[in-house]
Structures are given as C-alpha cells and as structure tokens.
Amino acid sequence: METFGHFEDASREYVITRPDTPWPWINYMGTEDFFSLISNTAGGYCFCRDAKFRRILRYRYNGVPMDAGGRYYYIKDGDSVWNPGWKPCKTTLDSYECRHGMGYSRIKGCKDGLEADALFFVPIGHRCEVHRIRLTNTGSAPKRIQLYSFAEWCLWNASTDMENFQRNLSTGEVEVEGKVIYHKTEYRERRNHYAFFGVNRPFDGFDTDRETFIGMYNGFEAPQQVLSGKSGNSLAHGWSPIASHRFDIGLEPGASEEFIFVLGYVENPSDKKFVAPGVINKEAALRMMDAFAAPEQVDAAFAALKAFWDGLLGRFTLQSDVPELDRTVNIWNQYQCMITFFFSRSASYFESGIGRGMGFRDSNQDLAGIVHLIPERARQRILDIAATQFPDGGCYHQYQPLTKRGNNDIGGGFNDDPLWLIFGTVAYIRETGDFGILDERVPFDNKPGTEVSLLDHLKISFKHVTDNLGPHGLPLIGRADWNDCLNLNCFSDNPDESFQTTENKSEGSKAESLMIAGLFVAEGRDFAELLERIGDSGAALVREAVANMETAVKKHGWDGEWFLRAYDYYGNKIGSRECEEGKIFIESQGWCTMARIGADEGLCDKALDSACKLLECEHGLVLNTPAYTSYIKDYGEISSYPGGYKENAGIFCHNNPWVIIGEAMAGRADDAWRHYCKITPAFCKDQNLRKVEPYAFCQMVAGKDAAKPGEGKNSWLTGTAAWTWKAVSEALLGIKPQFDGLLIEPCIPARYGNYKIHRRFRDAEYDITIRFSGKAGSVFIPYKPGKQELEINL
Ligand code: BGC
Ligand code: NOJ
C-alpha cells in the first residue's frame, strides 16, 4: 500500500518521505502564547495569543492549490529554482523529508548536490519562530547560489484582512534596518505591536512589497525577483507588505553555510512606541534577534524545547507488546491533547482561526487530556472558563482567548454546557488533590463584584439541569446538547440563517436529551463523591437528583434494545425503533452506559450490543443510523449533512470513546479494544484513504453511508484527543486517578494484558508492572509521595 511516511518513535517524530501527501500534513509549534501551524511543505501561519486578532502571517483558505502561503525559502541554483519543502515551486527534488516532532518541524530537500536543511521551531520564552537554514554543497564542484526568504504579513485582524480591501490596501507600512524587516501596519495608531523578520547575517538584497517581489501576474511558485536572481529592494507603502531577504552564496564542495532567521512579534509600552516621529522602537526585536544570533544559542533553545517535551511526556509512559499502542499513548495522543488544550477549536486546516474562540464545553473536556501534564495551566483554564458562566448556571458557548470574555457568536443556550464544568473540575482535582481550587472566587460573566466560590459555580451548574427538566423529567435540550446539530428548537427554512444561532421556537418546547441525562447521572455521581469528600451536606440532594434521573431514564428513555436519543419539540421520540431514520444514536448509548444506568437489569449490555450491531462499521462507530436522507426542519443541522458525514452518521470519533469506556465498564474488553483500534490513526493502514495526518486523531471519519467510507476530516482540534486519552489511559490500561489515590482497573484483551506503566501522580512516581488475565478486578493505591515500584496481578 502506498505510504507517505512512517513513525520514528525514538525521536518522537513522524517522518514524511513524500511532499505530495493526500492533504497537507501539519504540525503545531509554540507552548506559551506564540503559536504556529506548519505543513509538511512549510505552509501555514503564526499568531500571538489570538488567531483572529493577532495574526502575523497571511494565509489563504480555500486556496487553489491548497495550502498557499507560509514561510518559504527559495533556492536559485543556476536555472533551477526550488524550495526545500518542494512547494511552492514544486520543482522535483532529488530527495525530500519532513520530520514533524514535538513542537518543531524539520524539512530537508536536496537537489543537484545541494542540501537545504530547514529547522523550524518556536523557542520557549520568546514570541517568535526560529528558522535555521543550513545549506551544504554535497557535490564535487563549487556552487554559486542564491537564497531567498519569504513571508507575507497579515494585517493583524485575520477576518478584516480578507474583507476590507478599500482600507487595507492603503495601510501597509514597513521599515528595513540592519538585518531586520519590520512590519508596522497600524502601529501608527492604536496598535502597540509590530512583527519582524530578521536574519543573523547582512543580506544582499530585500523586498517588502509583494508585487515587486512576485510580480503582478505570477504566483508564489514563480516570484519574478527569484527567477531573475535579483531583489527589488522595495519598500511597501500600502498594498500587500511582505518580507524577503536575499543572499548570494558561494559554496565549495563539502562546505556549509548556516542562516538563522527570526520571525517575531513585539509589544511595546504605549509611551515607548517610537524613538523618533514614525520610527518604531526596535529594542525588543533586536533583543530577540540577539538571543538567536549564534548557532549555539539556537542549539540551546532547541534543546530546551526538547527538554520541555521530554519532561511532559515522561510523566506517563507505557511499555506494551503493541507498538501502535505505545506510540499513541507515549507520544502522539498526549501531544495532541496539549495542542487541543492550547488551541481549543480555533486554528487548524479545518478551523480558520477566525470563527471560533475557546468553547466552554470543548475546553472543559480538553482538560481531561492534560491535567496530568500541566496541572497549573489546567487550574487557570478552569477559573477562566467558570468566569464566563451566568448566574443561573447557563454559559456562553465560547470565549475569546485575548479578552477571556464570553460571546454568543456561535450560539448559546446549550444545556449540556454547565455540566462540563463539573467534569473538568473533577478531573483536575482527582489528578492534583487540589481541593483548594473550590474556594477560588470567580465572577459571573466576568463582572467584578459578582464573585462566588468555584464550588458554588459547580452547584449552580448542577442546578441548571434540575431547573430545566422537561415533561418526562429528563433534561431539556436547549439549543442543542453535545451534538451541536441536533437543533430541536430551531425550525429554520431560511438558508441564510445559521443553525447554530437560530432558535425560532423554544417556548413550550418538550425537547429533552438522553445524552444530557446520562452526563448528568455520571457527573452527578462524581460531584456527590466530591461533596462527600469535602464534607459538604449538599451531597445527599445531589444523590437524590441523580437517582430521580436514573428512574426517568429507565422509564422514559429506554427503547427496548437501546437508549433513546431525545424527545423532540412536540414530545416525539428520536433514536427509537419507531423512527424510520435515525433509529439509534451513539451519544445516549455512550453516556448512559458510562453512567451504568439500568446495568443491573441488563440495559447497558443490551445497549452496547445494539451499538456493535447497528452502529459499528469497518472504520468505527457511526453517530446514528440509518442516516437522515432529507432535511427535517424539526431536527435541524443534523439532517443537513449528506449521510455518512459529520453529525449525520459520520464516525464522529469524539463519541466513540464514550462507548469504549462504556464497554470497559461493562467488562467487555474485546469490544472496547476493537472500537479503540478502529479510530486510532496509528492502527490505520491505508494512508491514502484516511487522507489526513496518520499521527493525529480526526473529529470525523466518513461513515458507511458516505461516498468514501474511511476518509478522515477535521484532524487535530477535536475532543477526540482528550476522550481517547481518557479511554486508553483509564478504561483500557486502567490507571484511574481518584481523589485520594490511583485505582488500577484495566480492561484490555488478556493477550495484551502484560505491560508496564510509569506514572507521575502529584508528588509520587509509580512504576507499575501489570499482568492482567482478563478477569475483572481492581487494586487501589493510596497516594503517597515518593517513588514506588508496584506489581499488580489481576
Ligand atoms: C458542525 C459541528 C460544530 C458546529 C459549531 C456545525 O456545523 O457540524 O460539528 O460543532 O457547527 O461550530
Ligand atoms: C464540534 C464541537 O466543537 C463540539 O463542541 C461538539 O460537541 C461537536 N462538534 C458535536 O457536534
């Protein structure tokens, strides 16, 4: 089968060996507030803190060809012009390799005896990308070549950059001084920030005006200056500012030259913006340039980045007999959890970085993937999220990272949202034992003076559900629950309305959700346990509400062979054998089996059997079946998708782990393992079919009803990362953090049951050897600081 690359576990890299991957295969760089997306051909962009409001590089969505724009290096060697990453010139290379590693990418191209090795990373403690370009003459004759850099500036607001040309084409401003090109558009007025692209050696020419560099009728693949071996030394005034440096280089056989480029971002105090009228204060930029002036400095910064990731990924390691499992657990799944924590759903090759900030529900779930890695940052995130809640427990559906203020741009009133705060906080406290976070004072809607304790936020989250019950005693769905597209109060027949923001009917709605019911029971139990643990008398009422909900689910939410999905506006069933289409849905099977509702009466086993029988296909479990074949106004966006895609019978990978965990809780190891392998990219053999990165989970794989079942989409930024982490680390491998220790309770097929785990847990370090025979059982390890070696036979 055709492959485009392979894993290299020792160096924690994925090595791409052909540039023409079925879709750009990307990586992320940055660990603090400067972030970059970089594809295997060096496409992509960067921003500081906010992908919409502080965008540094311009990027073209929906471009033809895909992935136009990035940090490009051009080499002119005689008549041939090429890029180390193949694009944009697409000149055939003698060899190509891209190594995506933890927070860096290294792209190497060779042609006609010249090797160009480009290392890209975002150093810790600096707001910049460092590009180390090393050119080596591997041939036998001396070479005279030229190297050009290229980056195109976005005019900061990534959204208006694409729209407001009557203004934008007149605002661009730059300065060129010493070895640095400065981008200072709008700095003259309210912006206190600028960007720069500099290099550690004097250059032989430059350009800052796109038209001069590229030529009006050329594309990135044929910049007129590069083709002619010159530079225009242009200064951009309006139009489209860029930055390009040129070097004329002589290389003897065997000789190498190294160039260190820094693409950075600077914020100045408002009283120190200028050194002379119109001349920007360059001090901070020059300091950053100085920090990377010499190769040893770059080596040290790169080593520090490696150490950062080694430290993180050393906290939980697995040694099993299954290499695909090891590389997923030890490297890529945890890495992806960090990326989703940083980015929520804002910036990927499927999310524009413009439309969506940090989701309330999404960010809470993402915590489950990183609490064991960066607990301090999880703590802050919880407090930030809680501060966007309303006094009645409802929530803004998302907030903008720059301001941390909530907005309803993609809708509000999702009735599952409040419960996720309990989910995230419980995950955090179980990992850290930091009960003190519950006493933190947190405002509502970020309004000073409204502060209550985080614990009170959790209580009103819980109460928001019991305050909003429908006719069957089940939770009202609101605009939607986890499934954004089950819009039971929307009733839209206007194509110009968004399903996510339209709510034409909700008064008197009977629409109830079994997904929220399951979530409420599961999280309610956790919440009660937390309250009991801290001696809060509210626990009893919580337990009572949970018991009532279980009764309601058993009475009104069971369809005979599986759990119903919902009741619609009129009180009709959704996800029932009585329905023609959408007879069964995954979300309620997952949540009600994780909540073990009716387990004693056999409901969970039946629901899981039905999931295997009806929802499972070759590539995973579809969301619902049969797919909706036409638009149903009463159901909304779910029926807007052709069958097999997204929420209409796609394999929505995010919710597969719910069933995996449900299976594990029912002791059904083979089913749990099979479902896990199907959605985990490291097990996927057909790279051409899957199309997206073989090292990242995707939100959605086309389901059995799609034109091409198995084709992946929406890779990287998805709750799948945190949920598969929870599924594999807790449900399958059985390492379950509790308030006072670790519960070891594996559920994995016995043939894979011998493995070793190294686990940092608070101030303890456990080396656990597990021999699991397949029989259900568990061992509790009370928390005790220090090193411990444990052998567990189950
Ligand atoms: C997508 C959902 C997404 C929602 C909000 C819908 O179009 O199908 O997956 O959560 O938009 O952006
Ligand atoms: C993606 C959204 O980010 C998430 O919040 C939602 O739960 C799923 N889509 C399902 O609709």
Q: What is the pLDDT of residues 517-554, one digit of tens each?
A: 999 999 999 999 999 999 999 999 999 999 999 999 99
Closest C-alpha to ligand 2, atom 10? 483
Cα 638 to ligand 1 centre (Å): 10
Ligand 2 centroid distance, CA of 213 (Å): 42
pLDDT computed for residue 412 by the predictor: 82
Q: What is the pLDDT of residue 400?
A: 83
pLDDT at 406: 87
Expressed in angstroms and rounded, the spacing between residue 272 Cα and the centre of ligand 1 is 43
As annotated, the active-site residues are 484
The protein residue with its alpha carbon nearest to ligand 1, atom 4, reads 484
Contacts 24+ apart (CB under 8 A), 624-627: 624/565, 624/575, 624/582, 624/583, 624/584, 624/585, 624/586, 624/648, 624/649, 625/582, 625/583, 625/584, 625/649, 625/704, 626/580, 626/581, 626/582, 626/583, 626/705, 627/581, 627/582, 627/703, 627/705
Q: Which atom of ligand 2 is least distant from the CA of 485?
A: 11
Coil, helix or strand at residue 450: coil
Q: How much is the pLDDT for 5?
A: 98
The terminus-to-terminus CA distance of the chain in angstroms comes to 40
Half-sphere exposure of 248 (CA within 13 A, CB side): 6
How confident is the model at residue 1, as a pLDDT?
85
Query: Residue 477: what pLDDT?
Result: 97
Residue 485 beta carbon below 6 angstroms from any ligand 2 atom: yes
Q: Probe ligand 1: pick from 483, 485, 498, max atoms within 8 Å of CB?
A: 485
Could you identify the atom of ligand 2 that is nearest to the CA of residue 652? 10
Pocket test for ligand 2, best of 479, 482, 645 (most atoms within 8 A of CB): 482
Contacts of range 527-533, beta carbons closer than 8 Å, 24 or more positions apart: 527/422, 527/426, 527/458, 527/462, 529/739, 530/426, 530/429, 530/739, 533/435, 533/739, 533/740
- Residue 771's H or E segment, with its range, is strand 764-771
Question: How many Å lie between the centroid of ligand 2 and the Cα of residue 361?
Answer: 8
Q: Give the pLDDT of residue 67.
A: 96
Residues of the chain with pLDDT under 50: none
Residue nearest to atom 5 of ligand 2 (CA): 362
Joined together, the tokens standing for residue 639 give 């029926």
Output the pTM of the full model. Answer: 0.97
For residue 355, the ligand closest to its alpha carbon is 1
Ligand 1 lining (C-beta closer than 6 Å): 410, 484-485, 500, 637, 646-647
Identify the pLDDT of residue 356.
Answer: 73
Measured distance CA(571)–CA(476) in Å, rounded: 11
What pLDDT was estimated at residue 404?
A: 86
Q: Rounded to the nearest whole angstrom, what is the distance from the C-alpha of residue 484 to the centroid of ligand 1?
A: 6
- With the most atoms of ligand 2 within 8 angstroms of its CB, the residue from 341, 351, 362 to mutate is 362
